[in-house]
């Protein structure tokens, strides 16, 4: 473990004793991005464990994002089961170089459910709900929305997964959805544009990213390499 990252373990111990069981504390060491989590407390929150890969936000930071910031706070993460979490990450640097980060991810699903139910009660008595009405259901829907980060002016929705393949798949699905397209409706131009974004975000720093990208998009690995070569020449 990187010595500077290791020095944060007492702080992880402290935070675990202060925060409730619905807040996860994860310590990342970027020496090995494919197995970056070196310590995690309350892992039930995200469903990850020691040895899980870096997140998409972590990869962005490794690739130079937020170089002028010490932390990113107030953004939304999604657990492996797609549960919404309120997150904050402190960037760990060594001689100016980003070597890891410490993250706190708090489960806000119960609060969001309560907010939804209160709106329904208000609406049933003739009040105006704070959000547009949603149809009643056995399971209260829990939307995942980006939260504006006052400290950075950024919008982040981070994916917390236990595998690189799942992380790549989620990113591609999100990028396709942002274009209003299903994965099987992507043309060559859309695929190249998605690979361009993945490359800009540093996702190909992860081992197996090309294979995962090919599987998710339903194309060959040589095609991904060809598209990647094209965008890197731009």
pLDDT tens track for 142-154:
444 443 443 434 4
Pairing of β 154-159 and β 147-149: antiparallel
Query: Residue 172: which residues within 8 A CB-CB, separation 6 or more?
Result: 183, 194, 198, 213, 216, 217
What pLDDT does 128 receive? 60
pLDDT single digits (tens) 37-87: 999 999 999 999 999 999 999 999 998 999 999 999 989 888 888 888 999
Q: Does residue 135 have a pLDDT over 60?
A: no
What is the rounded distance in angstroms from the CA atom of residue 220 to the CA atom of residue 149?
A: 38
What pLDDT does 151 receive? 40
**pTM of this prediction?**
0.77
Task: Find the mean pLDDT for residues 156-165.
Answer: 85
pLDDT over 90 for what percent of the chain?
A: 66
Give me the chain's average pLDDT, please: 86
Task: Find the mean pLDDT for residues 2-18.
Answer: 97
Residue 110 is inside which H or E element, if any? helix 109-124
pLDDT single digits (tens) 50-59: 999 999 999 9
Q: What is the DSSP letter of 44?
A: G
Alpha helices in 28-83 (DSSP H): 56-62
End-to-end CA distance of the chain: 37
Q: Are 57 and 158 in contact (CB under 8 A)?
A: yes
Single out the residue of 205, 196, 207 nearest to residue 233, CA to CA: 196
Which residues lie across from 101 on neighbouring strands? 28, 91
What pLDDT does 85 receive? 92
Q: Does residue 10 have a pLDDT over 50?
A: yes
Q: How deeply is 222 buried, as exposed, middle or buried, from its count of CB atoms within 10 A (0-12, 13-18, 19+)?
A: exposed
Single out the residue of 81, 66, 43, 63 nearest to residue 159, CA to CA: 81
């Amino acid at each position: 473990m990187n010595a500077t990252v290791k020095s944060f373990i007492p702080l992880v111990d402290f935070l675990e004793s202060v925060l409730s069981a619905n807040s996860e504390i994860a310590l990342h060491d970027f020496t090995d991005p494919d197995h970056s989590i070196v310590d995690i407390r309350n892992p039930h929150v995200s469903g990850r464990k020691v040895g899980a890969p870096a997140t998409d936000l972590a990869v962005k930071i490794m690739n130079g994002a937020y170089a002028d910031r010490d932390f990113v706070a107030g953004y939304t993460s999604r657990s492996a089961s797609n549960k919404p979490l309120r997150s904050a990450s402190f960037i760990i640097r060594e001689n100016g170089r980003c070597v890891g980060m410490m993250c706190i991810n708090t489960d806000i699903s119960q609060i969001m459910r309560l907010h939804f139910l209160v709106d329904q009660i208000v609406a049933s008595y003739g009040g105006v709900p704070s959000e547009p009405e949603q149809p009643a259901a056995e399971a209260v829907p829990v939307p995942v929305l980006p939260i504006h980060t006052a400290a950075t002016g950024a919008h982040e929705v981070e994916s917390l997964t236990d595998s690189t393949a799942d992380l790549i798949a989620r990113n591609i699905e999100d990028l396709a959805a942002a274009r209003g397209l299903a994965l099987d409706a992507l043309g060559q131009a859309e695929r190249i544009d998605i690979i361009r974004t993945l490359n800009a975000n540093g996702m190909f720093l992860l081992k197996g990213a090309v294979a995962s990208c090919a599987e998710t998009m339903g194309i060959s690995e040589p095609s991904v390499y060809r598209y990647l070569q094209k965008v890197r020449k731009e």
